Amino acid sequence: MMGQITNVVVEILPRFEGYVYPNEAVPHPLWGFLIVLYPYITGLVAGAFIMASLVRVFKVKALEPVYRLAMLTALSFLLCATLPLLFHLGHPERCYEIMMTPHFTSPMAMFGFVYAWYLMAVLLLELWFDYRQDLVRWAKVTPGFRGLIYRVFTVGVTDESPKALALDEKLGWILSIVGIPSAFLLHGYVGFIFGSIKANPWWGNVLMPIIFILSAIVSGIALCVFVYMVLTWIRRHTVDMRCLDTMAMFLFYALVVDASVEALDCIHRIYAAEEGFPVLQTMIREKLFYTLNLGQATVGTLLPLLLLGPLQLLRKRVSEPVRQRMIFGSAFMILIGVLAMRWNVVIGGQLFSKSLRGVMGYKLEFAGVEGWFMGLILLSLPFIILTVLVKLFLSERLLSGGRTPRDSAAAD
């Protein structure tokens, strides 16, 4: 009988259990699937960039074959990072106000600036310094529209003297050093958006930015493995096993650190068992069971650890094709797992009432701005941009003519 009255809201909207504040009883959570994609995409950018910096800053020569690919991947995902945000706003036409009248105590307000800084000052400039000499050369030998593109990208700077090239190298290196904290800032701040909300016991957590950065690094390296493997298969090249094994190594260690910190977060929550603990337990048991236990923990963490861990010890005993498949499979599972992790954070934080007395449901629909079809489009967009960028800037025909990272790796 008591159940009947506490579930009055349920009669109107059948997706609520217990008591939720009347304003929370809306049919869809405020932040839907698009906001799941936003930290996912931003994390891939930061992770791919940090992987590229391993080459430039930490001089990991084995990774040189994927340096440019990682940078282009970061760029194509960064270009799409703001789209999910923009589409979900009530008034997208006012989005420029974030830049024009920023409110400096808001973590969200700083995004515009961090994003602009990262895109303009770090990624594009570093890529430009890296590509400048090639662009000048390609502009000379390529006719037509394609040549025009290269000419435009040289911005009129055609100086090829050794002094200028040395300066390019030096500036690129400086930008890469600046870029690492910038990448941390870009994604750490995304974690802070959630971590700073003290009203929500699932989000408000000092570890949140750190977890976001670590999982970003993991997902970024996994994405580079994925893109590199797909590209070599499409182009029918042989896979550079030294490069792939090195990526797998970094992927494994990053995953170990990430999994440890996430486990620490989990243990702390269970041990401290603060005010909202019972409702979080209910939510995890009833609403996040599959995405958390299966998606994030099993597919995204345990299985890749089990696949990649032994590879670090027994690398020489596993044949190359098997190794390739194991690494590719792990990378793919990690990409799924990190998406599940973003889902658990963003959607999970809205599946229980701030009255801590009830839980809500969420059904991902097909159509609509927050539907999964839209999400699929937004997720494929960076890959389409990447295809164009790879055709333009990693063209086999042009690269075979001169200095390439691949050559320098071979010479090493």
Partner 1 sequence: MKTQFSRRSALSRLGGAIAGLLTLSAARTVKAAVQKVFVASGAPKDYDPTRHQWLMCIDVNKCIGCGLCVEACKKENAVPEGPYFRTWIERYIITRSEPGSGRARGETFVDSPNGGMRGFPELPAAKDKIEHSFFVPKLCNLCEHSPCVQVCPVGATFDAPDGAVLVDPNYCIGCGFCIQACPYGCRFLSPVTKTAEKCTLCYHRITRGLKPACVEICPTQARIFGDLKNAGPDDPIRKFHENNRVQVLKPHLGTEPRVLYAGLDKEVR
Q: Which is nearer to partner 1, 26 or 388 (CB)?
A: 26
Find where tokens 């390739």 sit: 324
Instruction: Verify binding: residue 193, partner 1, rule CB under 8 A.
Output: yes
Rounded Cα distance between 95 and 80, Å, is: 15
Beta strands in 170-255 (DSSP E): none
The answer to whether 98 and 109 have CB atoms below 8 angstroms apart is: yes
Residues 301-340 as x/- pattern, contact with partner 1 by CB under 8 A: ----------------------------------------
Could you say which of 57, 82, 87, 108 contacts partner 1 (CB under 8 A)?
A: 108
Residue 55 host element (H or E):
helix 33-56
Could you say which of 6, 142, 232, 293 contacts partner 1 (CB under 8 A)?
A: 6
Residue 360 host element (H or E):
strand 357-360
Could you say which of 144, 145, 161, 199 contacts partner 1 (CB under 8 A)?
A: 199
Q: Which is nearer to partner 1, 13 or 257 (CB)?
A: 13
Structure tokens that stand for 351 in this block:
């599946």
Instruction: Verify binding: residue 87, partner 1, rule CB under 8 A.
Output: no
Instruction: Verify binding: residue 23, partner 1, rule CB under 8 A.
Output: yes
| Dihedral sign computed on CA atoms, order 100, 105, 109, 110 | positive
Residue count (the chain)? 412
The answer to whether 113 and 99 have CB atoms below 8 angstroms apart is: yes
Structure tokens that stand for 232 in this block:
């070599």
Residue numbers 252-281 binding partner 1 by CB under 8 A: 275
Find where tokens 């904290």 sit: 181
Residue numbers 121-140 binding partner 1 by CB under 8 A: none
Nearest to 278 by CA among 357, 346, 349: 357
| Binding segment toward partner 1, per CB under 8 A, in 193-201, 208-216, 303-311, 392-400 | 193-201
Instruction: Verify binding: residue 22, partner 1, rule CB under 8 A.
Output: yes
Q: How far is the CB of 215 from partner 1 (least distance, A)?
A: 21
Rounded Cα distance between 321 and 201, Å, is: 46
Instruction: Verify binding: residue 142, partner 1, rule CB under 8 A.
Output: no
Structure tokens that stand for 144 in this block:
């037509």
Summarize as ranges the residues that interact with partner 1 (CB under 8 A): 1-2, 4-6, 8-9, 12-13, 19, 21-26, 30-31, 85, 88-92, 94-95, 97-103, 105-109, 111, 120, 155-159, 164, 167, 193, 196-200, 203, 275, 349-350, 353-357
